[in-house]
Structure 1
Amino acid sequence: MGLGQTSKLTTQYANHFDDVKLTILEGDPVWIDVFSENLNVTDNISISHMELEEFEYYNTKSIRFKDVLDVVGDEKFDLIVIDGPQGFFEDDNGRHLLDYSRTNIWQLIPDNISEEFIIMIDDFNRKGEKRTFKRVKELLNENDIEFYDYTCKGIKHQYAVFSENFRYISWI
């Protein structure tokens, strides 16, 4: 979710392995046009422009991609990288971080994650991403899905939850 630097890596991977299917969801059509010029998009890679929608969760305004399930259908994903949509909204008073951001992942649990999976999110140093993943862990627990987690800290933090067979990623 989100088209960016990670997409450079994932598109190269998908280009190398014919049995890989890569789905990228992005909310900015101009960014899709500009950024995808630098990508080798083959038949097993799709980049979908997603409309954004505002919604309310726990009495707070949030933003998510609209109709994600219409795009992903019943597809099972073993890797989900989340760096979109944006974790803020802007108004006349400036930029405001969301209390819950990048929440589309909630819609994908449990039906759209593979038995063996990694779910990663960027910007985990922000409160909205932390709150979103608190709910991710609740959903995994509610569905009796065993998982492990890891936080990679740098200028920005990344966070991952993953199944047993991917525990090695916490050694990075």
Structure 2
Amino acid sequence: MILSQLKALINFNQAQNNRILEQNREIILQNKEIIWAQIFHDSIKGKPVLENLPLFVGRWAGNYTLFYVLYRILNDFRPERILELGLGESSKFISVFNQAYSKKSNHLIIEQDEVWKNNFIKDFELSDNAEIFISPLKMEYVKDNEVKVYSSLNKVLSQKFDFYLIDGPNGSSKYSRYDAFKIAKQFNPEDNFILLIDDFEREGEKDTVNLIRSEFQKKKIEFYTAVYTGLKSVLVIGSKKYKNVQNF
């Protein structure tokens, strides 16, 4: 009887400690997010079109970590060809930035949902150099795991872009956003590129990034990476030309 009570007490204390550790982790991430929000707002000072742009940050949309890194990529490197997977708040930000500061930049957005596209463009007018390409999702198997991919991605894989923002489709439990690997497989050592992958705190995205790393190592592609963490994490991968992605 005493032994069972002692075991119950130990299990209760362990559960309490785990809850406290999880609460502390959440507080640390929330504090980081607040800091990234301040850094982001400071970084866009003096650019009124960005300061005045209404954005829904966080939850299903990108967090302040993503928007800060996105701003630095657009502002520091001025990519002329952008491919974005997933239509949303980041599409607004890229569009407004390009319209004001980088009019030569072309922006192609791949989106799965025609209804969402129509609702989006009712409320927001994309820049003249932006285009939305509808590609419904399909399921593929990657190492016996079912993953969601864009069915028509092959139609754009022959094109080369400077900057790839991977924020769609919704995640899979394993090898999430596997389209990022399909894109990376097209690269050669001579190519210049930036890959920005959202939700890197999730195991599915980490699976896919491990495939990308292995592919680059196999092809002897020189690359540089950095992880930026708030409530969510983003990973940025740059070729040698863009190695300063490590220093945002």
Which residue number corresponds to residue 24 of structure 1?
109
Say whether the 8 Å CA contact 1:117–1:163 is kept in structure 2: yes
Q: 1:112 to 1:5 in 2, by over 3 A?
A: farther
Q: How many angstroms does 1:31 deviate by? A: 1.6
Work out which of the residue numbers 164, 167, 174 in structure 2 matches 1:99: 174
Identical counterparts, % of pairs: 28
| 1:111 equivalenced with 2:111 (yes/no) | no
Q: Which runs of 4+ in 1 moved over 4 A?
A: none
Alpha carbons of structure 1 residues 73 and 135: separation in structure 2 relative to 1, 3 Å: closer
Gaps in structure 1 of 5+ consecutive residues: 89-97
Task: String of CA shifts for 1:56-98, please: whole Å, max 9, x gaps.
Answer: 111111110012021x15211111000100104xxxxxxxxx2
- Cα distance in 1 for partners of 2:194, 2:232 equals 19
Q: Distance in 2 between matches of 1:55 and 1:105?
A: 14
Match of 1:4 among 80, 88, 108: 88
Range with bigger deviation, 34-43 or 46-55: 34-43
- Structure with the bigger percentage of helix: 2
Q: Which amino acid aligns with 2:87?
A: L
1:83 aligns with 2:152: no
Would the aligned equivalents of 1:151 and 1:159 in 2 still touch at CA under 8 Å? yes
Structure 1 residue 145 corresponds to structure 2 residue 229: no
- Which residue of 130, 135, 154 corresponds with 1:69? 154
Determine if the alignment matches structure 1 residue 171 to structure 2 residue 247: yes
Distance 1:38-1:112 versus aligned 2 partners, 3 A rule: farther
Displacement of 1:14 in angstroms is 3.0
TM-score normalised over the length of structure 1: 0.85
| 2:138–2:149 CA contact under 8 A, matched in 1 | yes
The residue that corresponds to 2:130 in the other structure is: 45
Counterpart amino acid of residue 4 in structure 1:
G
Q: CA deviation at 1:142?
A: 2.1
Which of the numbers 141, 145, 158 marks the counterpart of 1:60? 145
- Aligned mates of 1:67, 1:7 — CA distance in 2: 20
C-alpha offsets along residues 7-28 of structure 1, whole Å, 9 cap, x if unaligned? 1121123324332111101112
Match of 1:92 in 2: none
Q: Output the CA distance in 2 between the equivalents of 1:33 and 1:162.
A: 33
Structure 1 counterpart SS, 2:120: helix
Give, in whole Å, the separation in 2 of the partners of 1:128 and 1:10. 26
TM superposition shift of 1:111: 3.0
Q: What is the RMSD computed on CA atoms of the aligned residues?
A: 1.9
